[in-house]
Chain A
Amino acid sequence: MQQYMLTVHSVEGSPEPSAEARQKVYRDVDAFNAELRSTGAWVFGGGLHPVNTATVVRIHPGGEILMTDGPFAEGKEHVGGFWVIAAPDLDAALAWAAKATRACAAPVEVRPFQDIPPD
């Protein structure tokens, strides 16, 4: 089985969904998660707090560690959550992504993991 990361992209400053719409997303994502688990495709997943909670850690040329408040990407689009799934091939992963984007009402990016080298 190949593992894929399904990343949910959210746009900062886009209009807040209504409470009702948000409840529907919660319900739909729960149902999607349940389907992932029941078919054995689930590896890991979850939603993230907003980007204002992010901290970037990087190394200076001198070797010391520098921390900055805020997200790494300067644009308005940020990762809002992700799943790691196991699927036989890209078509299967894309089919999951189609369900994911319906459930969370946001674009979903699909990327394959590199093969894990055997021990």
Chain B
Amino acid sequence: MPAVGGSEIERVFREEYGRAVAVLVRAFGDIDLAEEAVQDSFAVAVERWPSTGLPPSPAGWIITTARNRAIDRFRREASREDRHAQAALLLESRNEPVEGGPVRDDVLRLIFTCCHPALAASAQVALTLRLLGGLTTTEIARAFLVPEATMAQRLVRAKGKIRDAKIPYRVPGESELPSRLRAVLSVVYLIFNEGYSASSGDRLVRDDLCAEAIRLGRLLADLMPDEPEVMGLLALMLLTDSRRAARTGADGALVLLADQDRAAWDRGLIAEGQAIVRECLRRNRPGPYQIQAAINAVHSDAGTAAGTDWKQIVVLYDQLLVLAPNPVVALNRAVAVAEVHGPEAAIALLEGLDLEDYYLFHAVRADLLVRLGRGVEAVAAYERAISLTTNATERAFLERGVARAAES
């Protein structure tokens, strides 16, 4: 058998960690036990695989080894009284399949448990990254810029609530599924956005978050191919991610969509995202993620910024506003309207939006004011925007705007 390198084991770890944890949580009914067993199992793999080569089914090997390790641990640690019950439990779990239908259900169960609405959103995100992505507490803490002890406590509390309040390990029924699925999708999108938009903190960790969100998106798409919003979210992430390299200049400065070097966009991701968007259109069961993906697909279609089909984008925002009526969508729609009907029409749409504390509201307003030749008001709007963001890249971008507005 060929020798296996560290990166190959790393790849198996990323792909199989969540699956192995999912299977063992069901077998043991205990998250901590499942995690420990899977970690043990990978530790053995790291020792053995470089000389023995990859086993025929790495996932199966990891799960079987983890199960046997946990059984050994049970035998050593269990008291005489509950040994009988555990033996029965383990006997039952020993000969279960490690691939195919039941495992897919286990992965879904784990996803829905991690994203249960009885857990705080921050805990849902942390648990999903920990249990499904195999990220360490240290990595998650670094990605979200919180102290490691805080993140560790967040995870312990969330797992404690799952155990003590008996959050069930199951895929929600038909009637609950739409709202529960929304929670899952919003966790994945939150992970993606955290990686994509915040530029403070460790760049590598942040790129990892985007990759992990997309991996989770693909996993969901594979598990629930009939849910159009699952496909929509995946397409949205792929199309957004396709522009990552063009999004910051050589000096790390933010580059707006209109000014990006479109040759630097990732054609492979665009093709994949657009194919999913076309499939969603064909299905005709629109939802907020699908429409946002479609908007991104229109941008991806344009060879130049001037060639963008803004009319189509306004139509899509009109639809999005019906499905997800919120002021941020209205703000984005106004940006598109400015391109079709001019800044005067757009600035009128900003009146009455309840976004006083949102930096992008003031940044958009500042830009429209510059285009209307109202420099003094534009400077004030830029300054308000600057006071509302802590992100260094965004601040630098806005400060360049102030300088431009002052000249106009």
Contact = CB atoms under 8 A, between A and B. Distances in A.
Secondary structure dominating the interface of A: mixed
Nearest to A89: B168
Nearest to A1: B166
A93 B161 CA distance: 14
A94 B180 CA distance: 14
Interface string B109-153: 000000010100000000000000000000000000000000000
B164 interface: yes
A112 B166 contact: yes
A55 interface: no
Contacts of A90: 116, 118, 165-168
A2 interface: yes
Chain A: interface size category: 10 to 19
A119 to B, nearest CB: 14
A89 B166 contact: yes
Contacts of A20: none
A114 B176 CA distance: 27
A2 B166 contact: yes
Contact of A112 (B116, B165, B176): B165
A101 B116 CA distance: 20
A88 B118 CA distance: 16
B117 to A, nearest CB: 8
A88 B166 CA distance: 8
B164 to A, nearest CB: 5
Contacts of B164: 112, 114
Nearest to A87: B166
A89 B166 CA distance: 5
A91 interface: yes
A62 to B, nearest CB: 36
Contacts of B118: 90, 94
Closest 4 CB pairs of A and B: A89-B168, A112-B165, A89-B166, A90-B165
Interface of A: 2, 88-91, 93-94, 110-112, 114
Interface of B: 116, 118, 164-168, 172, 176
16 contacts: A2-B166, A88-B166, A89-B166, A89-B167, A89-B168, A90-B118, A90-B168, A91-B167, A93-B165, A94-B118, A110-B165, A111-B165, A112-B164, A112-B165, A112-B166, A114-B164
